[in-house]
Amino acid sequence: MCGIAGFLGRPAGLLPPWLVLERMVSAVGHRGQDDRGIHVDEPVGLGHARLSIVDLAGGRQPMLSADGDLAIVFNGEIFNHVELRTELMARGRRFRTASDTEVILHLYEERGLDCVQSFNGDFAFALWDRRRKRLMLARDRAGVRPLFYSNTASGFVFASEVKALLAHPAVSAELDPRALDQIFTFWAPLSPRTAFKNIVEVPPGHVLTATAEGIMLRAYWRLQFPDADDASAHDTRDEHDIAAELRHLLTDATRIRLRADVPVGSYLSGGLDSSIVTALAKRLAPARLSSFSVAFEAAEFDESAHQEAMVRALGTEHRAITCSSADIAQVFPEVIRHTERPLLRTAPAPLFALSRLVRDSGFKVVLTGEGADEALAGYDIFKEAKVRRFCARFPASSYRTQLFGRLYPYLPGLQSQPASYLNAFFGVRPDDLGDPLFSHLPRFRSTTQLKTFFSADLRAALRDSEPVTELRESLPPEFARWHPLSQAQYLETAHLLPGYILSSQGDRVAMAHGIEGRFPFLDHRILAFAARLPPRMKLRGLREKHILRECAKDLLPAAIGARTKQPYRAPDAAAFLGPEAPAYVEELLSPAALADTGLFDPSAVARLVGKCKRNSSVSARDGMALTGILSTQLWAYTFLRCAAEAGYTPAPSARETLSLGLEQ
């Protein structure tokens, strides 16, 4: 894992290209503190901050081909580089290093832009082809590794993080109001949009080429599901055979993700997915495995008892942190600086602290269980959609209330509601069943309510913005032919997973401390395999991830294997309104600061803050609203007002009179 940055076209102004590159690389220096390098071959400049994991001595970057015609900067890992190297050597290719970076160069020489089809990995790279005068950017299939760019008047600029783009003299920071509208609808902007105007991302599974003639973007992979009525396209084998193949794929995906020249640890949440990955790694790793977890002072969020049960069962060398509401508030400004976007939840903050523990323990790499819920139908939203469809077909059924009661057992406030409330909350409107977004409509309607706090000016700017319509229009043509569960899985995998889970809760908070996360469940072989499974293999009644539980029965204690899904959550409003709340909270939510950014209605925010302070139990909606407003204010003051350290001039603002406590 590393940080990459560069440009095609000479930077505007008087700064020499090498100095611009150095500033860009410094802005992502936290991603790789082991080495730095730059390469200038006008009109291109490539920069790299290295986190040394494979071929510690020989993998320096930027790396050039033997003839010097190709140059590459690479972030991530090609997990099947050993097998690819063997194939290349059999065809006469000669290697100077043992790094996976050199494998990319050789495969590009053989296959050009199609080289990405051969890679099993999490990657983002930029490759300069001097003979063709072409810059190639590529991003992995699932969107694990970030890659952003801006096409400016003085050239094309790219980097692993927006901070590095802003260190280039031609790139400036400005809010994209439509992106904020999407964040307050979907939790993240729709790719390729970002929170910054004129800064976009290379979408997952895409290759971009930049030349003097312009930019071309093409997809090389997309998650596909079979048509619901095409039985021949589904995997119809016996359940035992399917479970055996899933076990084989998971074992191999974990095996190749243990490849490193440094120790590899594992996150252990106490849930099914991370427990399976850790158990497989324990069987595959020759030395004692180290595991890491986060616990919470608040019992509502804490899973430490399950974590300890897995540690006893596996005998890992375990380290944990216990996170309080005060801890979340303390690190939240840094979290926003690294995620580079407003957030509706505080969940990235404890993971930020956990990755710091991993770093302080001497590790650079951890395995995690992300991706299982998307690939194998583990989320409550899948069960909820199934229950809502049943109730729409049988509106008079006496089972309605019982089924609603089986949803979200970890939310006592919802469980205590009367039947009339549950029927209304989970109800289906007459035109909902025919909507391709049926499974997610309740979520979108709930988050959309948060926009009542937008200022009049922002609402006016968003008069023509229709995020849900944009999402509908972006769906692939075959989406309508898929099974309802497949449709819901696609929405999670193609949007929320790369847009929020792998970004704000994954790469950005881990790489803030130079920690590389590896995700066996996101091996593209597993994603394709799971997509072909009949829906009943994934969601059996209301039993989520049925086939995964079957394939891993011998790996886990019975109590862990039988656990229902408890989503990872963290305290929201409670983190910011207690007696120990840092000064920046009150300052950023003050009428002066809100008027300065102009994004929220100060009176409405004041009523929300008062309501949250008066009530000991804050609703999920109000918690998201408070977190979203505060994080947006933090983002605006960090990037739009006071980000001089990132290399651009801050705009005049009330920052001059607000301390915000951000310097501490």
Q: 463-472 pLDDT, tens per residue?
A: 999 999 999 9
d(CA 136, CA 159) in angstroms, rounded, equals: 13
Q: Is the pLDDT of residue 201 over 90?
A: yes
**pLDDT digit string, tens, across residues 370-385:** 999 999 999 999 999 9
Residues of the chain with CATH 3.60.20.10: 2-219
Residues of the chain with CATH 3.40.50.620: 231-375+494-561
**What average pLDDT does the structure give for the chain?**
92
**Angle between helices 239-256 and 272-284 in degrees, nearest 10:** 60
Lowest pLDDT segment from 122-131, 343-352, 616-625: 616-625
Tell me what pLDDT residue 664 has: 30
pLDDT over 70 percentage in the chain? 93
φ/ψ region of 90 (left if φ > 0, alpha if ψ in -120 to 50, else beta) reads: alpha
CB-count burial class (<10 Å; 0-12, 13-18, 19+) for 542: middle
3-state secondary structure of 386: helix
**What is the average per-residue pLDDT within 397-426?**
68
Superfamily of domain 2-219: Aminohydrolase, N-terminal nucleophile (Ntn) domain (3.60.20.10)
- Under the banding of pLDDT at 50, 70 and 90, the label for residue 401 is low
Q: Is the pLDDT of residue 79 over 60?
A: yes
CB-count burial class (<10 Å; 0-12, 13-18, 19+) for 149: buried
Q: Where is 359: in which H helix or E strand?
A: helix 348-360
In 3D space, the residue among 24, 3, 358 whose CA is nearest the CA of residue 146 turns out to be 3
Q: Is the peptide bond before 567 cis (omega within 30 degrees of 0)?
A: no
**What is the average per-residue pLDDT within 637-643?**
76
Entry pTM: 0.94
**pLDDT digit string, tens, across residues 40-52:** 999 999 999 999 9
Tell me what pLDDT residue 567 has: 87
**What is the average per-residue pLDDT within 389-395?**
81
Q: Copy the structure tokens of residue 230.
A: 């095409």
- Sheet arrangement for strand 214-219: 63-64, 70-78, 121-129, 134-139, 206-211, 214-219
Assigned fold of 231-375+494-561: Rossmann fold (3.40.50)
User: Do 379 and 373 form a contact (C-beta atoms < 8 A)?
Assistant: yes
Share of the chain residues as helix, strand and coil, in percent rounded to the nearest 5: 45, 15, 35
